[in-house]
Amino acid sequence: MIQPLNPTNVTAKKPAAKRKQGKSKILRNVTKPFPNSQKVHVEAPGSKVRVAMREITLAPTRDFQDQLTQNPPLRVYDTSGPYTDPATKIDIREGLKPIRAEWIEQRGDTETYSGREVQPRDNGYLTAGHAEFASQRETKGQLQPFPGLKRAPRRAVVDGNVSQMHYARKGVITPEMEYIATRETLGRQNNAGKHAQTDLRHQHPGVGFGARLNNRTIITPEFVREEVAAGRAIIPANVNHPESEPMIIGRNFRVKINANIGNSAVASSIEEEVEKMTWAIRWGADTVMDLSTGKNIHETREWIIRNSPVPIGTVPIYQALEKVGGTDLGPLSRHAHRAGRAGRRLLHHPRGRAAALRADDRAPGLRDRQPWRIDPREVVPLASSGKFSLHALRRDLRNHARLRRLLLAR
């Protein structure tokens, strides 16, 4: 017996509005506070900077005489941002509150400018019609522009430098450094005393391997500044990501964890990528790397950055490859790669430029020139055959350090 095309016993597909509502319900699961925990904000010593922490309520301890001893609450380093704060209303369509925007404006070394409009090719579409069709589909590959951002992008003023290392070497202690000092000091006082090796509170001194692993009970803003100025630590604090909470990566500070997320060309959606990011920071990720491929890379990255309280890193060459079709690399140039970066890369990733700047041996006028004399402003094809070559890409990545020195010299 032939079954009808639309049998009555088959559940009809839910409308797009209801499916969106279901996804939002999933997102609400990651905004619940931790059990027996609450979000607290502590002011940095001598400053009005408020540092977010997680305070855990501990159960009382019962001794051998059946007596209960109350334990004070324990405050720990928290990377979940405002998502675990019941007092904060989370709306991923509006993004997080830019907590660092006031600090950036007060320094007076940045200016706003009119960035270029997002083009269909930024998301992997050939024409505006293709992008419009993708925005109306009801599948997981739907193109959803971020609706919440109303502010203009920022950049350094002429001959300016807005990196935390620049401030540190000038002797300036920024609010970001004060925030980090309070964060990193957390819990060090509890281990200040000397304990026997059989005691669980005992900490081994460790091996410095050239680093200054001093037994400090308090991390001061001045110590943070010295470490950044000496190049032993970095503070990834992009002026176009004011939603991020200041953190530091260095030998003399806490171990940091990076989480890799990303959609693919055949699965996942923008809202699911935001959900992945929130789950990652909920369980302790200090930074997140967006490894998205396929369509909608630009908008996916924008949604993640606007809703992330931790630094976000990207791989710009993935977007550059998508803009030239993924396999035909003939049109790939430094200009296409820079457009792929679009000023949104928040953590340094050296692989991208190397593949885009590698000169073709048979390119006109470049065969006899040394690699360190190639003008980076020239449009240089990646491969003369126009096809993807894994061997050539690996060779290019091995030479990225020399090409990076070329760019810095320019």
402/289: higher pLDDT: 289
**Residue 102 pLDDT class (50, 70, 90 cuts):** very high
Q: Which residues pair with residue 261 across a beta bridge?
A: 290
Highest mean pLDDT among 259-273, 325-339, 366-380: 259-273
Two structure tokens written together for 321: 């490859």
Say whether pLDDT at 278 is over 60: yes
Percentage of the chain with pLDDT > 70?
A: 66
**Residue 11 pLDDT class (50, 70, 90 cuts):** very low
**Residue 351 pLDDT class (50, 70, 90 cuts):** very low
pLDDT digit string (tens) for 131-150?
A: 888 887 766 678 888 888 77
- The pLDDT score that the predictor gives to residue 409 is 60
Residue owning tokens 């140039």: 333
Say whether pLDDT at 256 is over 50: yes
Alpha helices, DSSP H only, in 3-77? 16-29
- The pLDDT score that the predictor gives to residue 372 is 37
330/82: higher pLDDT: 82
Residue type, 31: T
Lowest mean pLDDT among 20-29, 47-56, 205-214, 223-232: 20-29
What is the average pLDDT value for the chain, to the nearest integer? 76
The 10 Å CB-count burial string (b at 16+, else e) for 266-297 is: eebbbbbbbbbbbbbbbeebbbbbbebbbbbb
Contacts of 378-383 spanning 24+ positions with Cβ under 8 A:
378/334, 379/333, 379/334, 379/335, 380/333, 380/334, 381/329, 381/330, 381/331, 381/332, 381/333, 382/329, 382/330, 382/332, 382/355, 382/356, 382/358, 383/329, 383/330
How far is Cα 95 from Cα 244, in angstroms, rounded to an integer?
Answer: 11
pLDDT digit string (tens) for 16-39?
A: 444 444 445 556 778 888 899 999
How much is the average pLDDT of 10-14? 44
How much is the average pLDDT of 8-21? 43
Contacts of 42 (CB under 8 A, 6+ apart): 50, 51, 53, 75, 182
pLDDT digit string (tens) for 302-323?
A: 999 999 999 999 888 888 877 7
pLDDT digit string (tens) for 193-202?
A: 567 777 766 7
CB–CB of 366/372 below 8 Å?
A: no
Say whether pLDDT at 400 is over 80: no
- The pLDDT score that the predictor gives to residue 349 is 38
Whole-model pTM over 0.85: no
How far is Cα 343 from Cα 339, in angstroms, rounded to an integer?
Answer: 8
Widest pairwise Cα distance in the chain: 88
Three-state DSSP class for residue 185 = helix
Say whether pLDDT at 327 is over 90: no
pLDDT digit string (tens) for 59-84?
A: 998 888 889 989 889 999 999 999 99
How far is Cα 106 from Cα 231, in angstroms, rounded to an integer?
Answer: 25
How much is the average pLDDT of 324-339? 59
**Residue 93 pLDDT class (50, 70, 90 cuts):** confident
How far is Cα 330 from Cα 69, in angstroms, rounded to an integer?
Answer: 72
